[in-house]
Structure 1
């Protein structure tokens, strides 16, 4: 048979092209299969609960998460997950059950574990706990929360209540029954996540009742100025209770009894620089890191919140910009300080007087506030605001919404000084200064004053 050379070469080229097409199709199918498999695995992982246990060994207590030791580097707050991860943190304690799915998803995306709070009513709410229908309604509400989120891989454990009271008296039996009904429900439908509860400071009576009357895995404390007493308290009570514990809130002192205040009862807030110094000092001197019973601690507050002022505990401003405690926590968690700079305020003066000088003003009086800085050359801008003192309470609880600043005209004399006229209405106020540097970081301070009227 005689084969035309040109036809042969043309056929050979076509064969090669067909082989390439087949190979390309095989590669595309393989890539598609791998992609689908990876996405399927990721979705499966997202819907797979992390199995968490608290275990005891010769070295003390530890958290096991999916079989591996999980060392908590924690913060209590609501947001700023990426910054938490970048600073070296790995766990966030939250109280928002309404947006819990969104919080868990954001935490998972940033490799953050979550302790989810369940806001159970305190034991003094006898109207609730003596009513079986209301108690059952509370149980049902929390069961739906557990059911919705128990399989999320970011979930670490549940915290039942915040700063609860655990009294001795038999009249509180209905509270204990309701508390234990919730823990029993959690153990039944979500055995993969431990349970904790939180009390304010170290309280022997409460710890005793928790141990004798409740079923939880770890006791947690919110502790601030009393952190320096914790080692002694733990040692003296170890004959009765020697179990694991966490500190779910610690940091600088809050606007509570014992805090320095003015003659009219306005608590005096430290500048953010001094707060950062207090946080570092308390961690170095008083955090019982050597105690094998301590399985985690959480700085307060990783976010922005109103508590007497909108700056008292807020490590971030409302736009997510950072203050110096972020750098302190990075040093604690990673043992390295960030390269970026933070502005540092020493104090504020108002007509040459400090916050502790009980500043009394006349209505419409011209005032000269000035800031004294450690590093004034780094200041990019200063935002001055005046607020009424936040004394509003509802059902005995402090206001949690940021107040609206007064419409005040500031005549800027320089970055660190300004002029304003005091309000015409009698009452307590605060002047706030928020300083931003060229990195976008901020520092805050405020000074309380009182306007007195002759009318």
Structure 2
């Protein structure tokens, strides 16, 4: 009887140990495990067992500068060069939300072609399984700014989308799945919730960020899940930005953009919302979109604009130590961008740059003229940077030059980049139009 009792006792001890080890294995998730916890409406993102608050930037370059500024996450749109991006991110302690690009739902010819769907599925499956254990990976984003319609003809789009989401949940359960929508559209959110199984919704919001808090509150009766703001920033050209008589959008100076980034975050980003897992400033790097400076926090040489300092203040709560040139505005023949500057071919022009009071004298001033071709393509967000117009600039005084205008009729911009002693820059540009008066002048 005693022997049996000892046997039974040992059996219970082994069972208890087994259960303990089993529970321990269940609780000690892999280092790469990322998940979202919901405690009474308070959503928390966990990474490697600890809460992780995203301080993000949309972009894939200047990662050392991102780390120095206090950022910890980037968001990319596709898988081009993904291995290199993940490696560089990991070296800098930066997490990555990886975009899996999909055709927009309106492309029914794609979604009605099973061969194309199968090919896309296989390519994404391969990507998932190659990179799912990468330590820099934070989550997957299926598509960018997709529209989620309700009509039956989009059935194949939803099936393809959901198959990819299910694939990720099965092959890589350690990383959440999101998708992005443009602005806060109740129809999109309704259809995402009712017809998909993603883990959180992400928003790209620019001018409409002013209404974002109210939009969230007004629709919380239907959807009150976690979210990210995967793109936010200054007004885009599409956000009611003023434009010239010929349709050229007027871009603020980099100095004014820096102030708008900080002001916009403080006033409109719901940083303390218990549903908000973080936000991504746009654009960390240099990007051609309408102009090569509009959204760029850096130039193509990696030089910082003052908006990097604004991002530092947002992420750390402290102003950075960097100093930046501060541009007030630019004049062409004593006229500003809002004056609709129309000039003749080969006309001598005086350009003058006005710095803010107290701004130190720049170390270097670079002038360039670029033609504009957005009107030909019917796309204000022209993503191809045109070639600069070969122009001779003559310095006449500090921050003043003269030049002769281009010979060809059409819209142009005069750009200036000002560099200070520590290599930081400020940028400004002014649109102008070359008009040929009559047929004789055209000859």
Q: Which residue of 1 aligns with 2:137?
A: 155
Taking structure 1 as the reference length, the TM-score comes to 0.87
Q: Which residue of 2 aligns with 1:363?
A: 345
For residue 60 of structure 2, the aligned residue among 78, 88, 101 is: 78
Distance in 1, matches of 2:272 and 2:115, equals 46
After superposition, where does 1:399-414 map in structure 2 within 5 Å? Answer: 399-414=382-397
In the TM superposition, what is the alpha-carbon distance from 1:393 to its structure 2 partner? 7.3
Q: Which residue of 1 aligns with 2:107?
A: 125
After superposition, where does 1:362-441 map in structure 2 within 5 Å? Answer: 362-374=344-356, 375-391=358-374, 398-441=381-424
Task: Confirm or deny: 8 A CA contact 1:272 1:324 kept in the other structure.
Answer: yes
- Deviates further, 311-320 or 367-376: 367-376
Distance in 2, matches of 1:395 and 1:116, equals 30
In the TM superposition, what is the alpha-carbon distance from 1:58 to its structure 2 partner? 3.5
In the TM superposition, what is the alpha-carbon distance from 1:147 to its structure 2 partner? 1.6
For residue 213 of structure 1, the aligned residue among 185, 188, 195 is: 195
Distance in 2, matches of 1:86 and 1:393, equals 41
CA displacement, residues 314-350 of structure 1 (integer Å, 9 cap, x when unaligned): 0011011101011111111111212221111111111
After superposition, where does 1:114-193 map in structure 2 within 5 Å? Answer: 114-193=96-175
Whose radius of gyration is greater, 1 or 2?
1
Q: Which residue of 2 aligns with 1:450?
A: 433
Q: Which residue of 2 aligns with 1:37?
A: none
In the TM superposition, what is the alpha-carbon distance from 1:392 to its structure 2 partner? 6.8
With over 3 angstroms needed to count, the CA separation of the structure-2 counterparts of 1:108 and 1:66, relative to structure 1, is: same
Q: Which residue of 2 aligns with 1:333?
A: 315
Distance in 2, matches of 1:395 and 1:78, equals 28
Q: Which residue of 2 aligns with 1:12?
A: none
Distance in 1, matches of 2:246 and 2:271, equals 40
Taking structure 2 as the reference length, the TM-score comes to 0.90
Distance in 1, matches of 2:145 and 2:40, equals 31
Distance in 1, matches of 2:398 and 2:39, equals 58
For structure 2, the residue ranges without an aligned partner over 5 or more in a row are: 1-29
With over 3 angstroms needed to count, the CA separation of the structure-2 counterparts of 1:426 and 1:395, relative to structure 1, is: closer
In the TM superposition, what is the alpha-carbon distance from 1:235 to its structure 2 partner? 0.8
Q: Which residue of 2 aligns with 1:309?
A: 291
In the TM superposition, what is the alpha-carbon distance from 1:356 to its structure 2 partner? 1.1
Distance in 2, matches of 1:348 and 1:179, equals 48
CA displacement, residues 372-419 of structure 1 (integer Å, 9 cap, x when unaligned): 111443311110000001417779694423221110010111341110
Task: Confirm or deny: 8 A CA contact 1:304 1:316 kept in the other structure.
Answer: yes
Distance in 2, matches of 1:51 and 1:377, equals 49
With over 3 angstroms needed to count, the CA separation of the structure-2 counterparts of 1:160 and 1:356, relative to structure 1, is: same
SS in 2 for 1:158: strand
Distance in 2, matches of 1:96 and 1:158, equals 10
SS in 2 for 1:378: coil
SS in 1 for 2:180: strand
Residues 1:277 and 2:259 aligned together? yes
Task: Confirm or deny: 8 A CA contact 1:428 1:449 kept in the other structure.
Answer: yes
- Deviates further, 387-396 or 315-324: 387-396
- Deviates further, 410-419 or 271-280: 410-419
Q: Which residue of 1 aligns with 2:269?
A: 287
CA RMSD of aligned residues (A): 1.5
Count the aligned residue pairs. 408
With over 3 angstroms needed to count, the CA separation of the structure-2 counterparts of 1:49 and 1:95, relative to structure 1, is: farther
Task: Confirm or deny: 8 A CA contact 1:345 1:372 kept in the other structure.
Answer: yes
Q: Which residue of 1 aligns with 2:181?
A: 199
For residue 37 of structure 2, the aligned residue among 33, 55, 65 is: 55
Distance in 2, matches of 1:262 and 1:370, equals 20
Q: Which residue of 1 aligns with 2:214?
A: 232
SS in 2 for 1:367: strand
Task: Confirm or deny: 8 A CA contact 2:31 2:49 kept in the other structure.
Answer: no
In the TM superposition, what is the alpha-carbon distance from 1:187 to its structure 2 partner? 1.1
With over 3 angstroms needed to count, the CA separation of the structure-2 counterparts of 1:148 and 1:85, relative to structure 1, is: same
CA displacement, residues 55-79 of structure 1 (integer Å, 9 cap, x when unaligned): 1113610101011100110000120
Task: Confirm or deny: 8 A CA contact 1:250 1:297 kept in the other structure.
Answer: yes
- Deviates further, 55-64 or 431-440: 55-64
Task: Confirm or deny: 8 A CA contact 1:49 1:192 kept in the other structure.
Answer: no
